[in-house]
Amino acid sequence: MPNPILIVVQNLKIGGYQRIALDELYGFAKQQYPVELVALEDFTQNINNNLFYLEKDLIQKFDLSMKIASGHRYQQLGFFRRYIRSCDKSLVVFSHSLRATVLIRIASFVCKKNVRIHTVIHQIPSLSRPIQRLKRFLYSLFSDSLHTFSVAAKNDWDDKINNNLFLKFMFKNKPITLLRNGIFLERLPTLNRVNELDIKSNFRLIFLGRPTRWKGAETLLNLSKLQSLLDFEIVFFFPYENLDLFSDLPETIMGRITVNIGKTISDYSPKKGDIHLYPTNYGQGSKFIESVSINCLEMSAIGIPSCITRGGLDTWPEFSNSSLIVEVDWSNLKEVSNRILEIHGEKISDSELERVREVVSIKHHVNQMIQIVNKS
């Protein structure tokens, strides 16, 4: 029997690291690999913005083991101390929470037991404030190894380390490595394969993500005002509500908008002709850009094309010549609208869809994690 794997998250709200953590659980369960999840916040109390309730059927199908380590820090420390002592074998942890990394390391010192902690960094350091960024660097020193989801995040991390003598010394034996995201394909909806002629009557622009400026929801609204795109409906899937986003919109545009709150791609009914937009804005002067979100990977796996920010395909070069991921310049909305009209209804071959599904499958991500475990 292989060593047990513990996956730790801060919470199970609708979000990127929560999504990948659950897909990791499904992936390990599919391979019958012993795995368990612990969250630092109680995921049973609030049914809104909560992946635990949205995917309860899938969680029950795989009989996933999930525990809660909520409370004050000393209570969480006590939880991990008891957890570590209960393990017969050495414990291997994949942490999606730097706070959890620190707590588990302290608990392992107290228990005097061998615990290998592999921490996954989900945010590009430049997107954090300087004090928050320094705290993240210091907390990550409690980990045995560091991994991140994108080439942009890795390059930005290395850039910050190499330009600070203190950090360069502290991290000289702790490089960060790439651990690309993946998608558990079985949870995705099935593309509604309407008649090819009906594609021309299906005009929908889809947005999945947080209703924030840097995620690009406002850019999509500006795009929807163009005369060339007036036939398109706008469909938003937000984890939470942001009424200010729509406060100044005229009725003619509001009448074309549908907003789904607390929903994920599992609640989306895809149709041929849909186009997913991910207009991320990292700000002027950003050295490293990651344009391919988990939502983009999900959409590509069901045959829906995504328009993304230009210059962020380094992590996923397999999409360089694919019509399922299209790079655009969001500062030129007319150019974007022309590109949307070009790809609207464009046929995706079955062979291309199968190739993409193989590329984004969670099995590659899980197999890389297993290799990390075996080296532990």
Tens of pLDDT along the chain (376 residues) come to 556 799 999 999 999 999 999 999 999 999 999 999 999 999 998 888 899 999 999 999 999 999 999 899 999 999 999 999 998 888 999 999 999 999 999 999 999 999 999 999 998 998 889 999 999 999 999 999 999 999 999 999 999 999 999 999 999 999 999 999 999 999 998 766 544 545 556 789 999 988 877 788 889 999 999 999 999 999 999 998 887 888 888 888 899 999 999 988 988 888 888 999 999 877 666 788 888 999 999 999 999 999 999 988 999 999 998 999 999 999 999 999 999 999 987 888 889 999 999 999 999 999 999 999 988 7
The answer on 128 and 110 residing in a single domain is: yes
The answer on 345 and 316 residing in a single domain is: yes
Show Cβ contacts of residue 339 under 8 Å, excluding neighbours closer than 6 positions. 307, 326, 328
Domain count, the chain: 2
Query: Residue 155's closest CA among 13, 280, 311, 353?
Result: 311
Q: Which domain holds residue 347?
A: 186-359
The answer on 208 and 194 residing in a single domain is: yes
The answer on 250 and 312 residing in a single domain is: yes
Structure tokens at 42: 């109680």
Q: How much is the pTM?
A: 0.92
The answer on 352 and 340 residing in a single domain is: yes
The answer on 200 and 148 residing in a single domain is: no
The answer on 285 and 245 residing in a single domain is: yes
The answer on 99 and 159 residing in a single domain is: yes
Helix axes 16-30, 294-301, angle to 10 degrees: 50
Distance CA 288, CA 282 (A): 9
The answer on 238 and 142 residing in a single domain is: no
Helices (H), the chain: 16-30, 51-54, 56-61, 73-86, 98-111, 130-140, 151-162, 165-170, 217-224, 251-254, 294-301, 333-343, 350-360, 362-375
The answer on 201 and 102 residing in a single domain is: no
The answer on 240 and 153 residing in a single domain is: no
Specify the CATH number for the domain of residue 352: 3.40.50.2000
Q: What is the sign of the dihedral through the CA atoms of 346, 347, 351 and 353?
A: positive
The answer on 201 and 175 residing in a single domain is: no
